[in-house]
Every structure is written in structure tokens, then in C-alpha cells.
């Protein structure tokens, strides 16, 4: 089956590869507008569905498109990617010493069949000093990530605890996605090669 990842995210690509899937990447070219009327879980679902539809329009009818979108939510505010370094410092300052929620919406689309869902994970940051925040922002890692941090990189040193799917915070809820793929006849675990 032709599987397409509708994302240029290296983290999502890494996770699908880790799941043992063979796929190609076609980045979705859409305006990722934040509809403030939608709840965070519905927002990421809507954006992931738009991404999947955009890529599916140029794919074959038998192609299975996988799309996702991730946001960080703190105190009712949706934190997307920071606009600049000052915005990244602001976000990290707000998350310091607190628990926030990460939502990833994901869509699987094959022809007219569409499955769209979302997953939420709670992440707790340790208290951070202004110097630590400035040092982390200066690495550049926060600049292309929702909430201004990457849990799989240097940002892992900011995280004190997590409740839920770790991979969801990276941008793809691997457990839920694995189950959803089964609805399209793709079973990564049973098709995995034996490890020697």
C-alpha cells in the first residue's frame, strides 16, 4: 500500500520509521490558521484533516494519507510555534514549574474514508530560571516547535513528569495511531520483522 506522511516534520518521519512503515513524505501546503472558536482537541483534528485532504487530492485513490497537528495548551491559551525568541522565552516562562497539556490531532485518509481523532498528554515542567530559559532558546531548538520545546531533544531536561503518550508530545500518538492503522488493514506490529 502507498502510505504518505503529510508532514515535513523530522520527528513524525522518525516515529513512522520506528513503527516499521514504508512511506513517502508529501508536505501539506495549507494555512494552519488557529480557529479560536474550537477547543484545542477539535482544532488539531480540524488542521490534521485539512492537511490530509490537501495531500490526498494529489494522491491516488488507494493511497493512505497520514496527517497530524500538535499544540500545547496552558491556562486556556493555545501555544503554537513561537513567532520569535522573545515569544519562545515568554512561553517557556509560562510553562515553568507548571503542568500543561499537549494535543495531537491525527487523520488517516484513503479515498473517501477518513478517520480523525486526537490524543492529549499532560507534561509537567520543573521550575526554570531566566538564565536556563535564555540558554535553551539560544540553541534554536524551540523555534519550530509547539510550546517552544522539544521533549526528544535538549527540552527533555525541562520535563519533570509526563502522564500519557510520550510520543504524542513529539507529534504523533504512536499507540493510538497503530490501532487506527488497523482500521485500514495496516498492522505494523504483526508485520514487523523479527529482531535478531
The one-character DSSP state at 137 is H
Cell numbers found for residue 85:
525568541
Give the three-class secondary structure for 62. Answer: coil
Task: Decide if 124 is inside a domain.
Answer: yes
Task: Decide if 44 is inside a domain.
Answer: yes
What is the average pLDDT value for the chain, to the nearest integer?
94
Chain center to CA of 194: 28
Active-site hit among 69, 84, 144, 165: 69
Ranges of residues in the chain with a pLDDT under 50 are 196
Task: Decide if 45 is inside a domain.
Answer: yes
- In whole angstroms, what is the distance from residue 182 CA to residue 10 CA? 24
Domain count, the chain: 1
Give the three-class secondary structure for 29. Answer: coil
Q: Please state the φ and ψ torsions of residue 40, each to the nearest 5 degrees.
A: -55, -40
Task: Decide if 196 is inside a domain.
Answer: no
Q: Write out pLDDT tens, residues 11-67.
A: 999 999 999 999 999 999 887 777 878 999 999 999 999 999 999 999 988 999 999
* The pLDDT value given to residue 11: 93
165 is catalytic: no
Range of the domain at 50: 3-191
Domain at 177, CATH number: 3.90.950.10
Task: Decide if 76 is inside a domain.
Answer: yes
Note the helical H segments in the chain. Answer: 10-18, 40-56, 85-95, 130-138, 166-170, 174-182, 188-191
pTM of the model: 0.92
* The pLDDT value given to residue 29: 85
Q: What is the sign, positive or negative, of the torsion defined by CA atoms of 142, 147, 151, 152?
A: negative
* The pLDDT value given to residue 61: 86
With residue 101 as reference, give the H or E element that holds it.
strand 99-110
Task: Decide if 160 is inside a domain.
Answer: yes
**What does the DSSP assignment read for 64-88?**
EEEEEEEEEEETTEEE-S-SSHHHH
Amino acid at each position: 500500500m502507498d502510505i504518505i506522511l503529510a508532514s515535513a516534520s523530522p520527528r513524525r518521519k522518525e516515529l513512522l520509521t520506528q513503527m516499521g512503515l514504508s512511506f513517502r513524505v508529501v508536505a501539506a501546503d495549507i494555512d494552519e490558521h488557529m480557529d479560536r472558536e474550537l477547543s484545542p482537541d477539535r482544532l488539531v483534528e480540524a488542521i490534521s484533516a485539512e492537511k490530509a485532504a490537501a495531500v490526498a487530492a494529489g494522491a491516488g485513490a488507494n493511497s493512505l494519507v497520514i496527517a497530524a497537528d500538535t499544540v500545547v495548551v496552558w491556562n486556556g491559551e493555545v501555544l503554537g510555534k513561537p513567532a520569535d525568541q522573545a515569544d519562545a522565552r515568554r512561553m517557556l516562562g509560562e510553562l515553568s514549574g507548571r503542568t500543561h497539556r499537549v494535543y495531537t490531532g491525527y487523520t488517516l485518509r484513503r479515498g473517501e474514508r477518513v478517520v480523525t481523532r486526537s490524543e492529549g498528554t499532560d507534561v509537567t515542567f520543573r521550575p526554570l530560571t531566566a538564565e536556563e530559559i535564555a540558554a535553551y532558546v539560544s540553541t534554536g531548538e524551540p523555534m519550530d516547535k509547539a510550546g517552544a520545546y522539544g521533549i526528544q531533544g535538549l527540552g527533555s531536561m525541562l520535563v519533570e513528569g509526563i502522564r500519557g503518550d510520550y510520543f504524542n508530545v513529539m507529534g504523533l500518538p504512536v499507540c493510538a495511531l497503530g490501532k487506527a492503522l488497523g482500521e485500514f488493514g495496516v498492522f505494523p506490529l504483526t508485520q514487523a520483522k523479527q529482531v535478531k
